[in-house]
Amino acid sequence: MKNRKLLMLFALLLSIGMLLAACGGSDSEEDAGSDNGSDNESNESDEETPEFTSAMVTDVGGVDDKSFNQSAWEGLKAWGEEHGLEEGEGYDYAQSNNDSDYAPNLNRLVREDYNLVFGIGYKLEDAISEVAGQYSDTNFAIVDSVVEGDNIASITFADHEGSFLAGVAAANKTNTDKVGFVGGTNSDLINKFESGFVAGVHTVNPDIEVDVQYAGAFDAPDDGKLIASNMFNNDFDVIYHASGATGNGVFAQAKDIKNNDPDREVWVIGVDRDQYEEGQIGDHNVTLTSMVKRVDNSVQQVSNMAMDGEFPGGEVLEFGVEDEGVGLADTHEEAYTDDIAQAVDEWKQKIIDGEVEVPQTHEELDEYLDSL
């Protein structure tokens, strides 16, 4: 009986002690809540979350295609670095391995609360239109195409103008009077490249033969290599490609030829970004020049516009030779000689002055060639 009373007394004292501790803890928590500690933690959390974020969805060429997608990614990274952001925490990309990935990738980036989402390439037209229509609070931009929508900015380039200058360079470089064009898909967009290039070549010399071939894809380097092999084997000595990662095969074939016969002159004109490095083989380089599209600058510029509350929704932006949106790289000085550079500059000025209206379609090209 005595033991039972002692146990009851012990239990009572323990309960009172726990109650007092709980009361003391409550006072402490209230005191802590009244100081700036929790506010500071909240502020630190807010500081870690970027106020504005931007991301992009690649086409099937991949973010490291050494061409269009890579240029866009370089622009987005430059924008992120400009504002002290890190990949995955302010800017990012989603890789598309096939066409069916476009819409899911766009949806994923929207769910991850990116404020601005780019679709890189005209092949994302339908996906951008569909997803942007579902998320009116998110801004979208498509590169190299036009899609209507108040929350969509369309970024385009005067590809035909830059390609015209590439044709001028090719015509001034060829020793065989035979130059080639390798396109990705036979589409309105790539027809702009083709039409401008052929017009530039024939403006310099109507007697130069131009062979035009389409690989049917932007991610088929083996096909690009085969097409280039056939052209080079038939004495075509300059090839301009507008084919994304397919063009890697064109470079590979030119380098194979140069490796086996260092004295033979074969040249590739790159596209979208300066592809000088792609042409390097030992002490030689097969890149004559590149038709550079400042996709990087456009992505960075539109991201900043959106960040500043000036997103050009519903607008079509075009970057041409006049504002340095397109042009030729002069990295390979030994190949891209002063004479070629001077000829290119002369025709560039004629385009700016309106003396030359570069064709954009096959129909316009036919009319242009008839006028020469």
What's the token pair of residue 213? Answer: 């071939």
Domains and their CATH numbers in the chain: 52-157 (3.40.50.2300), 159-291+337-371 (3.40.50.2300)
The CA angle 71-74-75, to the nearest 5 degrees, is 90
- Quote the pLDDT of residue 6: 38
Longest pairwise C-alpha distance within the chain: 122
Q: Which residues of the chain have a pLDDT value below 50? A: 1-46
Rounded CA separation 173/238 (Å) = 8
- Quote the pLDDT of residue 27: 38
How many CB atoms lie under 10 A from the CB of residue 99?
A: 13
Rounded CA separation 21/18 (Å) = 5
How confident is the model over 277-305, as pLDDT tens digits?
999 999 999 999 999 999 999 999 999 99
How confident is the model over 47-72, as pLDDT tens digits?
566 899 999 999 998 899 888 899 99
How many CB atoms lie under 10 A from the CB of residue 187?
A: 12
What's the token pair of residue 128? Answer: 């951008």
What type of residue sits at position 208? I
Query: CA dist 64 to 96, 147, 224, 235, Å?
Result: 12, 25, 17, 31
8 A C-beta contact, residue 343 and residue 168: yes
Rounded CA separation 165/349 (Å) = 11
8 A C-beta contact, residue 127 and residue 294: no
Rounded CA separation 240/208 (Å) = 14
What's the token pair of residue 192? Answer: 């702009």
What type of residue sits at position 299? V
First CA to last CA distance, the chain: 122
What's the token pair of residue 297? Answer: 């600058």
273 SS3 class: coil
- Looking at the chain, how many residues does it have? 372
- Quote the pLDDT of residue 20: 39
- Quote the pLDDT of residue 65: 87
8 A C-beta contact, residue 118 and residue 56: yes
8 A C-beta contact, residue 99 and residue 106: no
Q: Are strands 267-272 and 54-57 parallel, antiparallel or unpaired?
A: unpaired
User: DSSP of 193-252, one letter per residue?
Assistant: HHHHHHHHHHHH-TTSEEEEEE-S-SS-HHHHHHHHHHHHHTT--EEEEE-GGGHHHHHH
Rounded CA separation 51/361 (Å) = 43
